[in-house]
Amino acid sequence: MTDVVLDEGCELCEAARFTHWYYEDQVCWVADCEACSTPMVVWKSHGTEPETGEVDWMLARLTEAGMHRFGEGIGSVDRTMRQVPDHFHAHLRDPHWLARRWTEPPSKYSGVGGARQLVK
Ligand SMILES: [Zn+2]
Ligand SMILES: [Zn+2]
């Protein structure tokens, strides 16, 4: 496994726990993205090139979170890194993610795993 490298001032390295967290281990964490509210997997190390096995692992954990949230076979992995191009992460976007940003309150952190709770 790759050594974990952190970058001061990188928001993904900071890994702030504001939204719902679906999963966490030594390789990655999966939580609702603060910007778009869809599940997002983030590599625990700062950089763009995890090993192939780690990428597969992370995308599988992301897909699991998406299944939990939206149901089986809904949504697709989006590996485009728009906001933080230098730290590996990926989103799981369902077809309605864009509209939902404005109609659904964001989730809140309530421990890793468990039921997803919304900010009231
Ligand atoms: Zn996002
Ligand atoms: Zn980072």
Interval 42-94: pLDDT, tens: 999 999 999 999 999 999 999 999 999 999 999 999 999 998 999 999 999 99
In a domain, 117, yes or no: no
Identify any residues that bridge with 31 across adjacent strands, giving them in sequence order: 21, 40
**Count of structural domains, the chain:** 1
Q: What is the pLDDT of residue 28?
A: 98
Span from the CA of 77 to the centroid of ligand 2 (angstroms): 20
Query: Is residue 85 one of the residues assigned to a domain?
Result: yes
In a domain, 46, yes or no: yes
Rounded distance, CA 71 to CA 67, Å? 4
- 2 has pLDDT over 80: no
pLDDT at 102: 84
Expressed in percent and rounded to 5, the helix, strand and coil fractions of the chain are 25, 20, 50
Domain membership flag for residue 31: yes
> Which H/E stretch holds residue 12?
helix 11-14
Residue 91 forms beta bridges with which residues? 40, 78
pLDDT for position 76: 96
Alpha carbon of 42 to ligand 2 centroid (Å): 9
Asked if residue 6 belongs to a domain, the reply is: no
Which CATH number belongs to the domain containing residue 73 in this structure? 3.30.428.10
Please list, in sequence order, all residues whose beta carbon lies within 8 angstroms of the beta carbon of residue 32, skipping any fewer than 6 positions away: 19, 20, 38, 39, 40, 106, 107, 116
Q: Distance, CA 40 to ligand 1 centroid (Å)?
A: 7
Q: What is the pLDDT of residues 63-72, one digit of tens each?
A: 999 999 999 9
**Helix ranges restricted to H, 15-120:** 52-70, 97-103
Residue 1 resides in a domain: no
Tell me, in angstroms, the distance from the centre of ligand 1 to residue 59's CA: 15
Domain region containing 53: 11-110
Choice between 108 and 1, residue whose per-residue pLDDT is larger: 108
Q: What is the mean pLDDT of residues 12-21?
A: 97
